[in-house]
Structures are given as structure tokens and as C-alpha cells.
Structure 1
Amino acid sequence: MGFFLFLFILLALLNIFFPRIGWYMRYGWTIKGDVEPSDAYLLMTRISSILMLIVLFIFWSNFF
């Protein structure tokens, strides 16, 4: 369980600080040419990752 927790936190932090990497891994490789993610997508990715970390820490503190 510790490995999955570490992986979840690592991916969330990666999405907060480098959201373009996640976009390229999910969508960017399927598109030809120079295409960039929109600012709205990058913002929503950061916000949702922050919210997921907050929810994780709330559940984690109530669980243990």
C-alpha cells in the first residue's frame, strides 16, 4: 500500500509542477504538428491535483 501511496503523491506533484508532461503522455503523442495544451487545461490539471492531495491527506489522517 505504501508504494501506491508514494506513486499517487508523485504523480499528483508531477501534475502540479509539470502539467504539460501529463498532457503529452495522454494527448500530445496522437496529434501531428506543434500543438500545445490550453491554459485552461493546465490550470484545471493543477487545481484537480491539489484537491486530490488535500482529499488524500484528509482521509489518511482520519484513517490512522
Structure 2
Amino acid sequence: MLIFAGLIFTVIGILNIVNPNFAWYLKEGWKVDGDSEPSDSYVALTKIGGVIGVVFGVILFFTGIFS
């Protein structure tokens, strides 16, 4: 189970690093008609969260392999 959780965290983290606007469009973007985009601070915090997610996912993955 830890291996699966590690993979999920890693994939979501990579998605947040590569395309931080994706989460914003899923949560808020569909509500707005027009040229609205996330703020720079939102994008930066989403990328930081992605890095944390990848690190946590890798730790869970290797914990699941070696347990």
C-alpha cells in the first residue's frame, strides 16, 4: 500500500511542478468567464508543494519496498 501511495504523491507532485495552473483551473478556473489566471504567489506555492509531494512520495515508495 505504501508503494501505491508513494506513486500517487509523486505523480501529483510532478504535475504540480510541471503545470501549476492545472489545479487552479480545476478548482477556480471553470467558474470564471474571461482572462483570469492564478497569481504568481499561487503558482510559486503550488510548485513548492509539488516538490514536497515528490519528496514525500519517494520516501513512501522506498519505505514500502524495504518493509
Measured against the shorter chain, the TM-score band is 0.7 to 0.9
Q: Hey, which bits of structure 1, 4+ residues long, moved more than 2 A? A: 1-11, 58-63
> What is the DSSP-based 3-state SS (H/G/I as helix, E as strand, rest coil) of the residue aligned with 1:35?
coil
Q: With CA pairs under 8 Å and 6+ residues apart, which has the higher RCO, 1 or 2? A: 2
Q: CA RMSD in A?
A: 2.1
Q: Taking structure 2 as the reference length, what is the TM-score of the superposition?
A: 0.73
Distance 1:7 1:58 in 2: 12
> What is the DSSP-based 3-state SS (H/G/I as helix, E as strand, rest coil) of the residue aligned with 1:61?
helix
Q: Taking structure 1 as the reference length, what is the TM-score of the superposition?
A: 0.75
Consecutive unaligned residues of structure 2, counting only runs of 5 or more, are none
Consecutive unaligned residues of structure 1, counting only runs of 5 or more, are none
What amino acid maps onto 1:33 in structure 2? G
- Deviates further, 16-25 or 38-47: 16-25
Distance 1:8 1:56 in 2: 5
